[in-house]
């Protein structure tokens, strides 16, 4: 990304020009940034048999999936529909890890029929899996280590109150089911949540995983999930993946030596790869002064970017139409008929009606969590790649809004 007094450019392409060409609101992604983050993770574990399984739920656009496929990743999917998208993007079934949660056994069977690697996170489904497939279909088991990660219960998935994974306290029950139904477990999986700052959390989880892994003689991989913290604002502490590579890499090597064979080490980055690569561009509809504050109302809302309202997530917001303007304090809100706030009391360059604002860190869980609330249309998506801005999803039309509705006589 480059900026001067007039504009911000990605690969030589002006964000203001993108907003002008494709309209607003619009999600814009930088392919170079995605590949830069991918290289960082690969380099951090360059001495290991690393498999990266991109978490499709973060950003599921086919062009993004193809970009990652072409650069050597697999994928982690959480629904059969995500699996079908991954197959359409060119991933082979064996490159796809299927990690659903609280789904019916029918959906698990669909995953088996597609040839996916199945990751099971509860004993009930595991027991049904064993009775159905016995030793004919291998699987992975997701464990809950009861580690609170990230400091926010809304994005932590490894604590004792989480719905995710088989509790480590249920290990005896788990082993009885596996032995009784003769299940071939080839992988163990652990994901403690998002915004993990340092290697120590991974090491705590790894110690638990290494101990349990000794009970499973046929393992091919251990999956440590992801949760690497990215930068949301200047001065943010982020996960040092190189430090993680050194510390976790050594612990992993020691485990493999005691286990008696070298396993693959898997990670499932989603936010880490695409968050910083995405900006959400919106137009200023109105600047509204009240006795309490000055609101900037834009042509979008939590129907397009729900993270600030759902997770109290911080997204830096800049005025790309007036980068060097005098600084003022604004609260940036959407046009949804609800409390609908992107940022409160933000100091930013003076905003005028018609200015384009860029909401940063919008690459992950932005469009993929968008909705048609208030009957608003979902935005377009653009990928900047090889110095060009290319449309990768058309903006919805009114016809899309009622396409599947069925009118009846009432």
| Separation CA 303–CA 309 (nearest Å) | 10
| Separation CA 77–CA 249 (nearest Å) | 25
φ and ψ at residue 21, rounded to 5 degrees:
-75, -45
Considering the domain architecture, whether residues 104 and 209 belong to the same structural domain is answered as: yes
Task: Assess whether 140 carries a catalytic annotation.
Answer: no
Considering the domain architecture, whether residues 265 and 354 belong to the same structural domain is answered as: no
CATH number for position 318:
2.40.37.10
Considering the domain architecture, whether residues 172 and 48 belong to the same structural domain is answered as: yes
Considering the domain architecture, whether residues 222 and 370 belong to the same structural domain is answered as: no
The answer to whether residues 147 and 191 touch, using CB atoms and an 8 Å cutoff, is: no
Tell me which DSSP letter residue 317 carries.
E
pLDDT for 382 equals 98
Confidence of residue 323 (pLDDT cuts 50, 70, 90): very high
In a domain, residue 313? The reply is yes
| Separation CA 142–CA 355 (nearest Å) | 47
In a domain, residue 215? The reply is yes
- Given the DSSP bridges, would you call strands 139-144 and 185-190 parallel, antiparallel or unpaired? parallel
The 10 Å Cβ neighbour count of residue 47 is: 11
| Separation CA 56–CA 83 (nearest Å) | 9
In a domain, residue 13? The reply is yes
Q: Name the domain count of the chain.
A: 2
* Whether pLDDT at 234 is above 90: no
Q: Which of 220, 247, 273 is the last residue of a domain?
A: 273
pLDDT for 232 equals 87
Tokens of 107: 């959906």
In a domain, residue 410? The reply is no
Parent domain of 321: 2-23+278-362+364-402
Q: Which of 239, 273, 307 is the last residue of a domain?
A: 273
Considering the domain architecture, whether residues 19 and 41 belong to the same structural domain is answered as: no
Predicted structure pTM score: 0.93
Considering the domain architecture, whether residues 127 and 108 belong to the same structural domain is answered as: yes
Considering the domain architecture, whether residues 123 and 220 belong to the same structural domain is answered as: yes
Q: Which of 273, 291, 317 is the last residue of a domain?
A: 273
Tokens of 304: 């397009």
Percent of the chain at pLDDT above 70? 93
**99-153: pLDDT as tens digits:** 999 999 999 999 999 999 999 999 999 999 999 998 899 999 999 988 755 444 4
CATH number for position 149:
3.20.20.10
Considering the domain architecture, whether residues 115 and 159 belong to the same structural domain is answered as: yes
Question: According to the per-residue pLDDT averaged within each range, which of 204-213, 226-235, 365-374 is highest?
Answer: 365-374
């Amino acid at each position: 990304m480059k900026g001067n007094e007039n504009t911000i450019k990605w690969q030589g392409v002006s964000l203001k020009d993108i907003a002008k060409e494709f309209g607003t609101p619009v999600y814009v992604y930088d392919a170079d940034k995605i590949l830069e983050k991918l290289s960082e993770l690969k380099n951090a574990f360059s001495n290991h048999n690393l498999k990266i399984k991109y978490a499709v739920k973060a950003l599921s656009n086919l062009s993004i999936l193809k970009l990652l496929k072409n650069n050597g990743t697999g994928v982690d999917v959480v629904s059969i529909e995500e699996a079908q998208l991954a197959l359409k993007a060119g991933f082979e079934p064996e490159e796809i890890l299927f990690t659903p949660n609280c789904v019916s056994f029918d959906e698990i069977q669909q995953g088996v029929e597609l040839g996916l690697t199945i990751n099971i996170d509860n004993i009930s489904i595991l027991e049904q899996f064993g009775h159905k497939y016995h030793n004919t279909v291998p699987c992975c088991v997701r464990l809950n280590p009861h580690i609170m990660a990230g400091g926010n219960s809304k994005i932590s998935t490894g604590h004792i109150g989480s719905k995710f994974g088989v509790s480590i306290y249920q290990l005896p029950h788990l082993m009885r089911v596996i032995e009784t139904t003769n299940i071939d477990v080839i992988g163990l999986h652990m994901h403690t949540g998002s915004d993990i700052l340092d290697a120590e959390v991974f090491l705590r989880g790894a110690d638990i995983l290494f101990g349990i892994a000794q009970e499973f003689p046929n393992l091919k991989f251990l999956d440590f999930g992801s949760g690497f913290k990215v930068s949301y604002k200047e001065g943010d502490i982020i996960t040092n993946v190189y430090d993680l590579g050194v510390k976790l890499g050594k612990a992993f090597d020691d485990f493999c030596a005691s286990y008696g064979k070298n396993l693959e080490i898997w990670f499932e980055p989603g936010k880490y790869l695409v968050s910083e690569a995405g900006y959400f561009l919106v137009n200023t509809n109105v600047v509204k002064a009240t006795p309490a504050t000055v609101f900037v109302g834009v042509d979008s809302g939590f129907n397009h970017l729900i993270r600030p309202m759902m997770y109290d997530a911080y997204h830096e917001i800049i005025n790309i139409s007036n980068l060097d303007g005098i600084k003022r304090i604004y609260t940036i809100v959407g046009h949804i008929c609800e409390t609908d706030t992107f940022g409160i009391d933000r100091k930013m360059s003076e905003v005028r009606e018609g200015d384009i604002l860029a909401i940063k860190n919008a690459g992950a869980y932005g469009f993929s969590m968008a909705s048609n609330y208030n009957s608003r249309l979902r935005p377009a998506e653009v990928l900047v790649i090889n110095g060009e801005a290319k449309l990768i999803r058309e903006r919805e039309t009114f016809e899309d809004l009622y396409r599947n509705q069925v009118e009846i006589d009432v």
